[in-house]
Amino acid sequence: MRSGETKRVSRPAIQIATAGVAIGVAVMLISVFVVMGFKREIQNKVLGFGGHLQVVNFESLRSAESQPVVIDDSLLAKIENTRGVAHVQRFCQKVGMLKTDDSFCGVAFRGVGQEYDCTFLQQHLLEGEIPAFSDSVSGGGLLLSSMLAGKLKLQVGDKVFAYFFENNVRARRFTVAGIFETNLTEFDEKLVFADLSTIHALYGWNAQQFSGAEVILRDMKTMDGVAYDIIRGMPRQDSNGAYFAVPTIRELYPAIFNWLDLLDTNVLVILILMICVAGFTMVSGLLIIILERTNFIGVMKALGSANGPLRIIFLHFASLIILRGLLFGNLLAFALTMLQKTFSVVHLDPQTYYVSAVPLLVDWRYVLLINLATLVLCFLSLLVPSHLVSRIEPARSIRFD
């Protein structure tokens, strides 16, 4: 085969092998970025509504209505001083109904005070403002989701009546102070925020009794360990004999977190498939290159070269193709990532996916791991086809040319 013909045949083989590695790496990186970004977004939203841990009455875990538990200042300080805890905020929660002239909707009223961290709600605020929540004065402000506002046809500044049913019906009038949107349907359609004093007064509990306390941690990875430390450092019962429970956010909403964990399996399948594709294209490319260089191999063997050094030459050349594929794959993945982060090109239905655009999170540990795994596995896959060099006989290859 003439040199020009060899180059014409080799170049497509090299380009296909390079493209196979590049596309495989890009798909793997983007898949990991998407899943990590999606998990972070959903986790942050769930944590924004419930904290990492909750200190509640054990009976509340088995009841639709909150049961009181004593969380006084000394217990609050003890929880706050636990290693890994960033903030603690008490709350009261009561089931009720919002009613307008045209519609009504059953919701859970979460009463929060001035100690409540409103950063999450502020980030997702669409209209109006966050009410000045208080645990001593009832301001009458109500914060609800855009989903509820749409169902009840409410706007900022509108008056709305809330009804609470126990032995008798009690009504309270609120003013819509703000409207938020998280797209997390499970919470948006059920939860509204009001003053702690208002909800607390509806129960008639004493000043130290609450539905519970949300515990916000510095690192979610320490959640189980901090929960154990809190349980170990506090009494089993409060002063009224109610048993404490410290469920994690995973235990409170297992369906959401199990669904997120299932995404890891999908990513693993994608990673395996893409590495197989990259390895297959590299094997095919190396076989083509070896077959095209049959005359070169025969001449080198006739001059006394051993199989080992010849195999190393081809493996070295194939490694350069893999590295080039890795470079192009990383450039493609990061270019698409920046494009999505900047312009949100790919949109999603928030009613189905809980986010309006595909979220991406770059973790350099996974970038390094994917690149190293691809390099090593592709290189190992080339060891078998490289044995073809040893099967080429000098006499036949030179005579064939």
Higher pLDDT, 300 or 326: 326
Q: What is the pLDDT of residue 147?
A: 95
Q: What is the pLDDT of residue 231?
A: 95
Nearest CA-CA partner of 17 in 272, 314, 392: 314
Q: What is the pLDDT of residue 1?
A: 42
Instruction: Name the pTM for this structure.
Output: 0.85
Average of pLDDT values for 148-169?
93
Do the beta carbons of residue 298 and residue 397 sit within 8 Å? yes
3-state DSSP assignment of residue 173: strand
Taking only Cα atoms into account, the Rg of the chain, rounded to an integer number of angstroms, comes to 31
Q: What is the pLDDT of residue 398?
A: 61
Largest Cα–Cα separation, the chain = 104
Confidence of residue 166 (pLDDT cuts 50, 70, 90): confident
Q: What is the pLDDT of residue 10?
A: 65
Q: What is the pLDDT of residue 294?
A: 74
**DSSP labels, 137-152:** S---EEEEEHHHHHHH
Q: What is the pLDDT of residue 282?
A: 86
Average of pLDDT values for 307-333?
89
Nearest CA-CA partner of 354 in 186, 220, 192: 186
Say yes or no to pLDDT of 178 above 60.
yes
Say yes or no to pLDDT of 304 above 80.
no
Per-residue pLDDT of 97-152, as tens digits, reads 999 998 999 999 999 999 999 999 999 999 999 999 998 888 899 999 999 999 99
Per-residue pLDDT of 180-199, as tens digits, reads 999 999 999 999 999 999 99
Q: What is the pLDDT of residue 383?
A: 83
Q: What is the pLDDT of residue 3?
A: 47
Q: What is the pLDDT of residue 14?
A: 83
Confidence of residue 9 (pLDDT cuts 50, 70, 90): very low
Euclidean distance between CA atoms 116 and 176, whole angstroms = 19
Q: What is the pLDDT of residue 154?
A: 96
Q: What is the pLDDT of residue 394?
A: 67
Say yes or no to pLDDT of 292 above 80.
no
Say yes or no to pLDDT of 299 above 90.
no
Q: What is the pLDDT of residue 352?
A: 85
How many residues make up the chain in this entry?
Answer: 401
Euclidean distance between CA atoms 328 and 23, whole angstroms = 8
**DSSP labels, 42-89:** HHHHHHHHH-SEEEEEGGGGG-SS---EE--HHHHHHHHTSTTEEEEE
Per-residue pLDDT of 21-33, as tens digits, reads 999 999 999 999 9
Say yes or no to pLDDT of 396 above 80.
no
Say yes or no to pLDDT of 7 above 60.
no
Average of pLDDT values for 67-78?
95
Supply the mean pLDDT for the chain.
Answer: 90
